[in-house]
Amino acid sequence: MDNAIHTLLQAMWEDYLELAPDARSIHDLFAASNNGNVVNDHIALRTYSLPEVNLAVIARAFTDHGYIEGGEYEFPARKLFAKHFQHPNPELPKVFISELLVEKLSEQAQQHITALVDQVTPDATQSPLFCCSGRPWQLDTQTYDELLAESEYAAWVAAFGYRANHFTVSINHLSEPDTIVDLNHLLQKHGYILNDTGGLVKGSPDVLLEQSSTMAKKVTVDFTDGTREIPGCFYEFAKRYPTGDGTLYQGFVAASADKIFTSTHTKAE
Ligand code: OOG
Ligand code: NI
């Protein structure tokens, strides 16, 4: 395996564990009944569409190591656009990268986001570990609150920056539980809070993908003028179904993804 991509994914996992307080114990719960093996279906990253940090800039760390574009997804109500990337080596996780279409936001939000992105140096984005470098700008609570009032996504990126917002357990690779309903019950029995936007299970065998996720737990975030407890990162669970040629569907489903985004929301939708 390409060492650079392995190093990046390992660094992303370690960074992610810091911001997803439940992730280690959920991982270990599945590892215990699957000989220690928990396969990661995909990770996801978020960004703003400004040219210094847009989706294409974030994707480079992956495309430089053999990842290729797999599909495009639109979320007009959230003002988001996304692509997924996959690697010819099926053991590597897919990468789902979304960007907030900044030009569609209010003047005030655009000014806030431009002021944040102006603090990012080209050197920083070119670093091979930019994708797990966290927040490359200073942020105060008023800017966070004003962004939050307009877009939960805008505020999340402002607070957390560049890192995996979730990893995803591949249910196909678990011997048990092998249905998403059983998996959700197991997690709930252990007290984990799941995302119930539109129901616990997003998607169906008909669209070749079923997904569920935890709600991100609150973590302490530093601002220039104090600290706040806000939702960090979450864990997702995905089961894929075969396409006509018998291989598992490798894409995403926009209608389901739309509901996974709420896993980091501070308020119910
Ligand atoms: C991505 C939400 C979509 C999926 O698997 O469909 C997603 C995000 O929350 O950044 O992860
Ligand atoms: Ni996902």
pLDDT digits (tens, 9 = 90+) for 126-179: 999 999 999 999 999 999 999 999 999 999 999 999 999 999 999 999 999 999
Q: What is the pTM of this model?
A: 0.98
Neighbours of ion ligand 2 (CB under 5 A): 44, 236
CA proximity to 173, closest of 2, 11, 41: 41
Considering only CA atoms, give the Rg of the chain: 18
Name, in order, each residue with C-beta under 8 angstroms of 7's C-beta and a sequence gap of 6 or more: none
Q: How far, CA to CA in Å, does 89 sit from each of 5, 83, 127, 258?
A: 12, 19, 24, 28
- Residue 1 banded pLDDT, cuts 50, 70, 90: low
Give Cα 107 distance to the centre of its chain.
Answer: 27
d(CA 176, CA 101): 40
Condensed to tens digits (0 to 9), the pLDDT of residues 76-135 reads 999 999 999 999 999 999 999 999 999 999 999 999 999 999 999 999 999 999 999 999
Give the model's pLDDT for residue 10.
Answer: 98
CA of 96 to the centre of ligand 1 (A): 7
The complex's ipTM works out to 0.99
3-263 classified as CATH 3.50.50.60 = no
Q: What is the 3-state secondary structure (H, E, C) of 138-161?
A: CCCHHHHHHHHHHCHHHHHHHHHC
d(CA 162, CA 172): 28
Who lines ligand 1 at CB under 6 A? 44, 46, 96, 98, 165, 211, 236, 252, 256-257, 260-261
d(CA 152, CA 136): 19
CA of 25 to the centre of ligand 2 (A): 19
d(CA 31, CA 36): 4
Query: Tokens for 159?
Result: 């607070």
Looking from the CA of residue 253, the nearest atom of ligand 1 is: 6
Give Cα 177 distance to the centre of its chain.
Answer: 23
- Residue 249 bridge partners (DSSP): none
In 115-240, which ranges are E strands? 166-170, 202-204, 209-213, 218-223, 226-231, 234-240
- Residue 269 banded pLDDT, cuts 50, 70, 90: confident
Contact 236, 166 (CB under 8 A): yes
Residue nearest to atom 4 of ligand 1 (CA): 257
